[in-house]
Structure 1
Amino acid sequence: MKMYLMKQEQLLPLSPEQAWEFFVHPGNLPRITPPNLGFKITGELPDKMHAGMIVTYTVTPFLGMAVNWVTEITHMQEPYFFVDEQRFGPYRMWHHQHIFTETPQGTLMTDLVHYVLPFGPLGRVAAPLVARRVRGIFDYRREALARELGFPV
């Protein structure tokens, strides 16, 4: 089993509390997800995220085929971090840490995504394509956050 890691950092000119206020509302997720991912929330969402929260949605990651995805918010310490983990979906494993660190310039937001692809050797063949796709999602998110929160990229 091969585990992959995607890491991205973005400086947000906000306090950790201000950054948290955007991310704690699960309804904001579609606003920072690329439209070509076909992301649609399929279940009811609470007003604010909490540990144990389950989120159900569909995505169309490749070839326009819709896939059900279920994640759980497994850990949370306001306003410093939360973790979402796949319970069912396109990956064999998905573990996404969202870390908010206060700096003199604002909040350094770090995303650490550990994932394992399905299909054994076939998944490893597709790994470069998947890595580009995952990176593209987070590159889009970087720009969308700047647009949504009103600061330069």
Structure 2
Amino acid sequence: MTARFSCETRIAAPRAAAFDASLDIDLHLSSMARSGERAVAGVTRGRIGPGETVTWRARHFGVRWTMTSEIAAYRRPSFFVDRQVRGPFAAFRHEHRFEQDASGTRMHDLIEFRAPLGPLGRIAEPVLRRHLRRLIEERNEHVKRTAEASVR
């Protein structure tokens, strides 16, 4: 992988609630409403689990794309990895970690990707990194609200 970034989100809820919310397809769809993202194959509703796939369709940068992701590693409630098995990136991997502490959960995301089109794609990686970071941060706010609401 060539490009990477991480995000951290504090959640006032047990890590199992944050973990489960992070795997919820319906929550993901609501967090990506601006891009018109849809789940079109594989697990398209509810919670996705180990070894399962989902195929997403969305519009980013004015371009329609399709990406199939697989839950490649899974250790509830502390860790899972989703990775692209087919799609627009030369490679894409998203690691999710959940650590419980006295105030709730620290959710840590590590995203690693390689843009398509070889050297030409690498020129676009800073733009892709900023765009992906914004998407992940928006999604994480949905996860946070959902997990915190589940314990009220």
Q: Same fold judged by TM-score > 0.5?
A: yes
Q: Provide Cα deviations, 1:41-100, integer angstroms capped at 9, x if missing partner.
A: 10252643221101011121222x211110100110011111101011111100101110
| Partner of residue 122, structure 1 | 120
The 5-angstrom pairing of residues 1-153 of structure 1 reads: 3-33=2-32, 35-45=33-43, 47-63=46-62, 65-149=63-147
Letter in 1 for 2:20: E
Q: 1:15 to 1:148 in 2, by over 3 A?
A: closer
Query: 1:27: how far off?
Result: 2.5
Query: 1:146: how far off?
Result: 4.0
Unaligned runs of 5+ in 2: none
**Aligned-partner Cα distance in 2 for 1:90–1:26:** 20
The normalised TM-score by structure 1 is 0.87
| Residue correspondences, number | 148
Runs (4+) of structure 1 moved beyond 6 Å?
none
Unaligned runs of 5+ in 1: none
**Aligned-partner Cα distance in 2 for 1:23–1:106:** 15
**Aligned-partner Cα distance in 2 for 1:147–1:111:** 17
**Aligned-partner Cα distance in 2 for 1:36–1:3:** 27
Query: Identity of paired residues, percent?
Result: 26
Q: Give the structure, 1 or 2, with the largest relative contact order (CA under 8 Å, sep 6 or more).
A: 2
Letter in 1 for 2:65: V
Letter in 1 for 2:125: A
Which structure is higher in strand share? 2
**Aligned-partner Cα distance in 2 for 1:123–1:91:** 9
The normalised TM-score by structure 2 is 0.87
